[in-house]
Chain A
Amino acid sequence: MQIAPILAALRKHRLATVLIALEIALACAVLCNACFIIASRLSAMHVESGIDEPALATVQLTGYDPSQSVDVDARALAALRAVPGVQSVTLLNSIPFGARRGTAGITTDAERQHFGGVIEFYVGAPGSLDALGSRIVAGRGPRPEDFQPFTGFMPNEANVQITQALADHLWPGVDPLGKEFWMLKSHYRVVGVLKTLVRPDPPGWTPQERLWSVFVPAQPGPYLTGSYLLRADPKEMPRVMRDALAAVARALPEVVIDRDASQTLTDLRHETFRNDRIMAGLMLGVIAALLLVTALGIVGLASFWVAQRRKQIGVRRALGATRGDILRYFQTENFLIVSLGIALGMLLAYALNVALMQVYELPRLPLAYLPVGALALWVLGQLSVLAPALRAAAVPPVVATRSV
């Protein structure tokens, strides 16, 4: 294939060529970054929670004085346990994908010099860790004597289980069992490691931070009350949840059921990532619209050029060029224009990513996205030019003998 004549022809249509190449460059830049945004939102949505989500639900009560907690909890637990299908009911302050009541910064020394990060404290009553279904990969689970009564935000002293992700962050490469950390003056000792346990609000944290959780065993009381974790057969969950809410409303008419927060964990998870789903969908729409418009531009311009060059095509055919030659001419022309656009687009994609990083705290665009974007645009270009190029190839040689 002779590239020189194509370049000569393109030079005659410099402006239109540059404009289409520019359009492809912009499409390439947006495509790469939009795909990246979609991928990062999708990865957030698929975060592994480490718990038996389909078998879990929560009921949240408020609107009573903490001094009444013993009475309220006793009646609520009795009512919930009486619901057919409920396997277990326990108290847990924070709920994965739900209520967030234990977010705090920790230090790895008592003098508060070495900041360990902001983590989530799941303060739970006996049975709650088992109910969650979080797997212990090292050390031990909580023993009965670990569950102590407490006052204030959370227990001052406890043997705790931390997630593998948090252990790797606090003490990389070291056995975390027996290590200690502090939250202000409260002191905790690691006795077990959980495979994973997601924090209640994974969006808004980095992929590593999403799994920085600790389980603190404690006895129910004024500061661990009204937040119940239910376990039931996943198949029966919708009915169990309906019955549970009705039972609590009957047993405790004077308290407020927080109905927005009292849901199955599957529903809570769905709601947690609603914004990410919308953003990903929107980006998909942007990509589709952008590719569509770019394709329209290529089709339009190529059709015009084909119509404009009918006579020249006829001359070439009359001089012995085959249909394939004509077809390949337009395909090569398109390939050159798109390649020019892609070369420019790579730089633009990088620049756009740098701008997004500064304004919206996006991570750096992995280089792997660039060749994928380029390939997508090459394919798009060839597909769009196919129809006009076939029309060009169909021009009969006899056109050469006619005047325009």
Chain B
Amino acid sequence: MLMYYLGLARRSLRRSPVLTGLMVLAISLGIGASMTMITVLHVMTDDPLPGRSAQLYTPHLDPLPLDYKRHEGSPDPADDLTWPDAMALLKAHRAVRQAAMSGGSLLLRPARADLHPIYVSGRYATAEFFPMFGVPFERGGGWSAADDATGSPVLVLADALARKLFGTSDAVGQTVRLGEHDFRVIGVTADWAPKPLFYADQTGTQYSDADLFFLPLSVAMDQKFPVSGNQSAWGKGRSPSLTSANMSWLQFWAQLDTPAQVAAYRQYLVDYSAQQKALGRFQRPPRNAKLYGLMGWLAHENLVPGDVDLQLWLALGFLFVCMLNIVALLLAKFLRRGGEISVRRALGARRRDIFVQFGIESALIGVAGGVLGLGIAQLGLWSIRQRPDDYARLAQMDLSMLLGTVVLAVLASVLAGLLPAWRACRVQPALQLKGG
């Protein structure tokens, strides 16, 4: 039966090639535009660390005074931790693994004479950063908690920077001059850059940034290395230092493997806040302390820029207009076939059969539109990749998006065909037959 309907649909569509072409073109334009923007949104909200993200959490405290007022558009100071809080959480060691971190940009003077001095951005972190995030190493490895404690001048390089500085020779054991200090390279990471760079401060361009070096946070503090990212201070008094209890600037991540551990850690954060409140440091309710999962944190940060949102809505609105168009055209097309419908009904076809027949005809338009739409979406994504935005280079379709395109096209065209098909199957056969 299905083959018969497909045959009927094909014949009907061939009978009016211009109209069919118009409908296929309309649906493919709508689908192409929508899928371009859906793909952009998909890559922007994708899991940066598949397989690990479910165990990663970031704790947040609320050390702000009761009367603190945030300026419109400025970042929330409670998004980051203060130095005393981060150190307390590290010392308590309540999670399986935990690390405090912050970004920094340092002047690098290459030993090779043919390389100019450059600024490189990287991360100051504590030892468990590497095992917690599962950073893969090409050579060597990360540093130990003992290195953190003693402030050893050790350095982990990203493979890109290691290759630039030392070519193909082994970077481990070499010395690199950062700022005005010499560091010993103890590890080189394999190609690793989560997109977005979820653990970075929210002021950066998180889709194009990658850390080129990693060094112990304690060393950065000892050497007074510059910190990049947002530093929010509050309260009165002289300008705060990085170790001040009134300035937040550190990011903190913890690995929690079971729901029980998550619940326990959440309780620990509330208890810690209550204790700080009792000591008079915190003023706000201890329940303000939060523990975000990785994907929850990304949702909270809302990294998708307004322009992308606007463009997605535009594309979906455009698809809707295209669908309206197809509804009107299909309606005209189906109703014109009153004679054919009546003959089939008189020969014993049920209403349901007529409905299915026209449904299949709509779906066929959808398939053709989907295939053409795929081409248009690829064109759209290519144009997105030419943009200067930091997410632009990520705009590529994966398999799920490819399938999604065709599914969406068929869905849209079947949806558009519902009303015309329903109207068509309600045609009174007797009236039409007499008239013909």
- Give A contacts to B, CB under 8 Å: 13, 15-16, 19-20, 22-23, 26-27, 30, 62-63, 249, 253-257, 271, 274-275, 278-279, 282, 286, 289-290, 292-294, 296-297, 299-301, 303-305, 307-308, 356, 359-360, 404
Contacts of B324 in A (CB 8 A): 19, 22-23, 26, 297
A296 engages B116 (CB within 8 Å) = no
B329 engages A294 (CB within 8 Å) = no
Q: Does B118 contact A (CB under 8 A)?
A: yes
B332 engages A300 (CB within 8 Å) = yes
| CB < 8 Å neighbour of A278 from B109, B116, B387 | B387
Contacts of A308 in B (CB 8 A): 332, 336
In angstroms, Cα B385 to Cα A278, docked, is: 12
- Give B contacts to A, CB under 8 Å: 18-19, 22-23, 25-26, 29-30, 33, 107, 109, 116-119, 306-307, 309-311, 314, 317-318, 320-322, 324-325, 327-329, 331-333, 336, 387-389, 419, 423, 436
Which secondary structure characterizes the binding site on chain B? helix
B332 engages A275 (CB within 8 Å) = no
Contacts of A286 in B (CB 8 A): 33, 314, 318
Contacts of B25 in A (CB 8 A): 296
In angstroms, Cα B309 to Cα A27, docked, is: 20
B336 engages A303 (CB within 8 Å) = no
Contacts of B107 in A (CB 8 A): 63, 256
The distance from the CB of A221 to the nearest CB of chain B, in whole angstroms, is 21
A254 engages B26 (CB within 8 Å) = no
Which secondary structure characterizes the binding site on chain A? helix
Residue in chain A with minimal CB distance to B306: A360
| CB < 8 Å neighbour of B321 from A278, A290, A305 | A290
Residue in chain A with minimal CB distance to B392: A278
In angstroms, Cα B318 to Cα A303, docked, is: 23
In angstroms, Cα B30 to Cα A292, docked, is: 12
Contacts of A15 in B (CB 8 A): 331, 419, 423
Residue in chain A with minimal CB distance to B113: A253
Contacts of A22 in B (CB 8 A): 324
Q: List 21 A-B contacts (CB under 8 A).
A: A15-B419, A19-B331, A26-B317, A30-B314, A30-B321, A63-B107, A256-B116, A271-B388, A289-B29, A289-B318, A293-B321, A296-B325, A297-B329, A300-B22, A304-B329, A304-B332, A307-B336, A359-B306, A359-B309, A359-B310, A360-B306
A255 engages B19 (CB within 8 Å) = no
The distance from the CB of B339 to the nearest CB of chain A, in whole angstroms, is 9
Most chain-A CB neighbours within 10 Å: which of B19, B318, B332?
B332
B328 engages A301 (CB within 8 Å) = yes
Contacts of A62 in B (CB 8 A): 119
